[in-house]
A and B are shown apart, each in its own frame.
Chain A
Amino acid sequence: MNDDAIGDDALLTRYFDALLAPACARGSDMPTAPVVPDAEAERAPVTARRYRCCQVGSLRLALPMAAVAAVRPCPVLTPAPPTAPPWHLGTLVESTRRLHVVSLAALTGATPGPGRTDVLVVLDAGHWALACSDAEAVIELRHDEVRWRARGGTRPWLAGTALAHGCALLDILGLTGLLASELEAMADKTGMGAPA
Chain B
Amino acid sequence: MHIWAIANQKGGVGKTTTAAALGGLLAAEGRATLLVDMDAHASLSSYFGIDAPPGGGSYALFADGAQRLRDEIQRTRFERMHLLPASPALATIDRQFGARPGMGKVLAEALAEVAGLYEYVLIDGPPTLGVPMVNALAACTLALLPTQTEFLALRGLERMLQTLAMLERSRGAPIPRLILPTLFDARTHASVACLRTLRERHGPVLARATIPADTQLREASHAGIPAGAWPGARRGGDAYRALLGELRESGPISAKAHRA
Contact = CB atoms under 8 A, between A and B. Distances in A.
Interface of A: 9, 12-13, 16-24, 26-29, 35-36, 40-41, 43-47, 49, 64, 66, 69, 96-97, 124-126, 143, 148, 150-151, 159, 171-174, 176-181
B91 to A, nearest CB: 9
A2 B68 CA distance: 40
B56 A46 contact: yes
Contact of A26 (B30, B65, B131, B134): B65
A112 B134 CA distance: 48
Provide the main secondary structure of the chain B interface: helix
Given A21-B101, A22-B102, A151-B67, A16 B170 contact: yes
A176 B117 contact: yes
Which 6 A-B pairs give the minimum distances between C-beta atoms? A27-B65, A23-B102, A19-B104, A44-B54, A177-B116, A16-B170
B55 A45 contact: yes
B118 A125 contact: yes
B95 interface: yes
Contacts of B69: 173
Contacts of A171: 70
B123 to A, nearest CB: 16
Given A20-B134, A35-B96, A125-B118, A66 B75 contact: yes
B171 interface: yes
Contact of A13 (B62, B118, B134, B169): B169
B169 A173 contact: no
Given A44-B55, A46-B54, A17 B117 contact: no
Contacts of A44: 54-55
Contacts of B62: 26
Contact of B71 (A27, A143, A181): A143
12 contacts: A19-B103, A20-B105, A20-B167, A20-B170, A27-B68, A69-B79, A124-B82, A172-B117, A174-B70, A177-B117, A179-B116, A180-B116
B71 A13 contact: no
Contacts of A177: 113-117
Contacts of B101: 18-19, 21-24
A125 B81 CA distance: 8
Contacts of B129: 12
B106 A16 contact: no
Contact of B92 (A41, A174, A180): A41
Nearest to A96: B30
Contacts of A125: 32, 80, 82, 117-118
A26 B97 CA distance: 10
B46 interface: no
Interface string B75-114: 1000110100000010010011111111111100100011
